[in-house]
Amino acid sequence: MNFLKALKPVMVVVLMLLLVAAAVLFYQTRSDYYARVSVGEAVRHAKQVLAAVQVEHGKSSVLPASLEKLSLPPGQVGYVPTLAWNGVEGELTVKVDSDHGHFGTLFFRRVASDDGEVQWRCRNGSVDERYLPGDCRS
């Protein structure tokens, strides 16, 4: 009987450790979720911008010098990343920042195709590999 009395404080400590472990796991899962959502939204937005670049290229056969000349869809919904366009190189730089932190940088670069169409390749700059969509993984 005295053995069970002595075991009670140990059981309380073990229970507290289990609760702390569950809380840490929940926090990590939630942080991963926000990172994946932010990166996914940034890629989605970048693809909309690149589609507008493609339309402009189809009209004039040259890449636009700046993003201001594009007719982007009005009222973007959701997370909007920081974008930088290099019209000479044909590269869109996407900085993935949100209220939950800085998740890194992605690059979308123009790739020449045999039929003359403009295609884009996503290249990872500094985003953690586990947050990237499949088409941006190396």
d(CA 64, CA 94): 17
Task: Count each helix (H run) and each strand (E run) in the chain, helices first.
Answer: 1, 4
- Summarised one tens digit per residue, pLDDT across range 99-119 is 666 778 999 998 877 776 778
d(CA 132, CA 43): 9
CATH of the domain at 21: 3.30.700
Q: Which domain holds residue 41?
A: 2-136
> Do the Cβ atoms of 122 and 108 come closer than 8 Å?
yes
Check pLDDT > 50 for residue 77: no
Check pLDDT > 60 for residue 74: no
* pLDDT mean across residues, the chain: 80
Surface-to-core class of residue 73, CB atoms within 10 Å of its CB (0-12 exposed, 13-18 middle, 19+ buried): exposed
pLDDT of amino acid 91: 92
In three-state secondary structure terms, 54 is helix
Q: Give which of 95, 106, 111 is closest to 54, Cα–Cα.
A: 111
Q: How many domains does the chain have?
A: 1
pLDDT of amino acid 5: 73
Q: Is the pTM of this model over 0.85?
A: no
53: Cβ contacts below 8 Å, ≥ 6 apart? 63, 64, 70, 85, 92, 118
Q: Give which of 53, 70, 52, 71 is closest to 62, Cα–Cα.
A: 53
d(CA 37, CA 107): 18
Check pLDDT > 90 for residue 36: no
Check pLDDT > 60 for residue 78: no
pLDDT of amino acid 6: 72
